[in-house]
Structure 1
């Protein structure tokens, strides 16, 4: 039996997570099988179970990882004084729209997550709540409850607009959706 370098297991798990994350966001969770993920990872199907107990376990891990990365961006923006307007404009950009495989997991996967087991939805809910709290903290005005209400509206506007902009096959309409939603989200956030 071959011995692997220290950290090999963690590196392999990370590799599987990255591939699954890209494939899930690009094609949808239901459309992606474990065989496709493992094939792209250059591993056997049996090796999957060394790292995850099931596809649902992988889905949860992918969601937590991708949402933690997005949460870290919000934390960095908050710590560095980046205006919420910048976050909104970056999110609702043609570049983000065109890169679903590496973009926001919420916009790419929310409709599917609604049909997953409670444990997966609980993980998703916790991370979304954290992101909403960080967005509320970026808002300069209003009580904590008011900023939270506005952050929920802003985030829902952003996610929904990104989903619509990806779904339509008219480029002009897609760009209108992004631009108009960005204006609406900034208005909701109290940005000038």
Structure 2
């Protein structure tokens, strides 16, 4: 019975994290109250506090899990440019743009995460670093520093472009944002950065 209870509690916690992730991404962190979050998971307010000490703890857990899942998906792709191109086409697609609840946690939540408790921001920091590392594996050109720069540029471009495409009310402009971002992202993915600027020291 004890074994079942532990498994049941873990399953309940996992369900809470999964449903809260979709709710946060669709309605925002501030727009999702505990009553709604527990109702989504089929729980009560009292049951919530049996799993999380606060909403901040739930948010941090959700952010960590969402990014962990995203990193796992990128790591599962065969290394190479073909995988990068496929991922970019999906990420910058109208379908992804229109699917807030099921899409990228960064694009959906980044503006709020920046104002969250440090626990949440630390969870995001760890996840974002892991995501950059996962992207770097596909862009590796033998120069670790240059590869990381390209991965950082790609990650930030994708997130910002998707946010912009979701924010505007003009469907044509939104599609143009996505198309331009795809072209620029492919440039980053396929071409190494130019040599670093001179440091001012004599050669």
TM superposition score normalised by structure 2: 0.88
What is the CA distance between 1:133 and its match in structure 2?
1.2
What is the CA distance between 1:56 and its match in structure 2?
0.3
What's the counterpart of residue 85 of structure 2? Answer: 85
1:41–1:190 Cα change, 3 Å: same
Asked if structure 1 preserves the Cα contact closer than 8 Å seen for 2:113 and 2:120, the reply is yes
What's the counterpart of residue 27 of structure 2? Answer: 27
Asked if structure 1 preserves the Cα contact closer than 8 Å seen for 2:79 and 2:137, the reply is no
What is the CA distance between 1:95 and its match in structure 2?
0.8
Count, aligned residues:
190
CA RMSD of aligned residues (A): 1.9
Q: Describe the SS at the equivalent of 2:43.
A: coil
What is the CA distance between 1:81 and its match in structure 2?
7.7
Asked if structure 2 preserves the Cα contact closer than 8 Å seen for 1:78 and 1:134, the reply is no
Map 1:154-173; keep pairs closer than 5 Å: 154-173=154-173
What's the counterpart of residue 126 of structure 1? Answer: 126
What's the counterpart of residue 64 of structure 1? Answer: 64
Asked if structure 1 preserves the Cα contact closer than 8 Å seen for 2:164 and 2:177, the reply is yes
| Distance across 2 between alignment mates of 1:154 and 1:81 | 13
TM superposition score normalised by structure 1: 0.93
Asked if structure 2 preserves the Cα contact closer than 8 Å seen for 1:19 and 1:40, the reply is yes
| Distance across 2 between alignment mates of 1:114 and 1:161 | 18
Q: Describe the SS at the equivalent of 1:83.
A: helix
| Distance across 2 between alignment mates of 1:27 and 1:187 | 34
What is the CA distance between 1:122 and its match in structure 2?
1.2
